[in-house]
Amino acid sequence: MTRLSKARGIVIHRRRVRESDSIVRILTDAGQSFEFWAHGIHSSLKNRTPLLIELGSLICIDYYESTRGVLSLKEGVLENRFEELKKEYNDVTLLSYFLDLTSFIASYEASLPLFMLLSGSIDTLCHSKRKSNHKSPLRHHLQTALLIIFFQIRLLKLLGLVRVETRCILCDNFLNEEAHLNLPELSFSCKDCSPESTQEHFQLAELISSGASHKFGKFAKYWTEQTSKLDLPKTYHRLHLSLQDFRGREFSSFPFLDFGQYSKNV
């Protein structure tokens, strides 16, 4: 006996099996993640478009669950394809990076905050993309860079790898003016505990703390004005490597960003 259920979520991974089938993983707006079979989705004989299982799309589906726990797609509706992010190569690569990271986190523990982070980030990218057609493209690039860093920080927070407060990992005192970054665990020690402390590492500690504790709008507004104090490429790569070290292998996506064009005068 099979049971018919409904779900709404974002397609975060898929793999094609046989000639006309795919196995699809979605992250739902209820904070769950599961795979389902899309039988015949690539066949013209079925009255279902492959766009329904396109990566990064928001879909609503009806699916069957068998007594053996196998989930099979019955039918579905494409709610939002987010076409703004699927026209240019750089945008597609960026979306793929978000989905790759999300799929990795969901394999450990899917949650409502994870869905909200992914859907909110996609919405923000689309909104910024639309505005960039009428206003400064440079500001769009800066907002995109900060959004990626914010996304990385929030994922590290969900994994329990970063602290909200800027405290020393050794003495638990608050950091002040200078700090030392400890890798690969991405913790910080104060200048009293680590003589090699620097202002650069203290700025990174503040950046991570604000990303872990504030919404993106407040985070972006503050750090847009403080961009000259940050090494954005180094920050981006450090956070990426921390996620990669935790995973134990490379991610399939790693978007190239031309950070050389970013300055606080945007």
Distance separating the N- and C-terminal Cα atoms of the chain? 61
Burial class of residue 103, CB neighbours in 10 A (0-12, 13-18, 19+): buried
The separation between CA 24 and the C-alpha centre of its own chain, rounded to angstroms, equals 19
Q: How many CA atoms lie within 13 A of 123 on its CB side?
A: 10
**Token pair 């604000």 is at which residue?**
210
56-100 pLDDT per residue, tens: 999 999 999 987 888 999 999 999 999 999 988 889 999 999 999
Q: Between 135 and 146, name the one with better pLDDT.
A: 146
Strands 3-17 and 58-65: antiparallel
137 cis-preceded (ω within 30 degrees of 0): no
pLDDT band, residue 263 (cuts 50/70/90):
very low
**Cα gap 27→114, rounded to integer Å:** 8
The Cβ of residue 211 has, within 10 Å, a number of other Cβ atoms equal to 25
Give alpha helix (H) positions in the chain: 89-109, 112-132, 137-158, 199-213, 216-225, 232-247
Q: Is the pLDDT of residue 266 over 50?
A: no
Note whether 119 and 56 are within 8 A (CB).
no
The Cβ of residue 180 has, within 10 Å, a number of other Cβ atoms equal to 22
**Cα gap 113→241, rounded to integer Å:** 22
**Cα gap 223→148, rounded to integer Å:** 13
- The angle at the Cα of 26, spanning 84 to 14, to the nearest 5 degrees, equals 80
**Cα gap 3→233, rounded to integer Å:** 49
Q: Is the pLDDT of residue 40 over 70?
A: yes
Amino acid at 13: H
- Domain ranges, ordered by start, for the chain: 3-80, 84-261
Task: State the average pLDDT over residues 5-22.
Answer: 93
pLDDT band, residue 48 (cuts 50/70/90):
confident
Q: Between 24 and 256, name the one with better pLDDT.
A: 24
Burial class of residue 156, CB neighbours in 10 A (0-12, 13-18, 19+): buried
We find that the CATH architecture of domain 3-80 is Beta Barrel (2.40)
Q: Is the pLDDT of residue 125 over 60?
A: yes
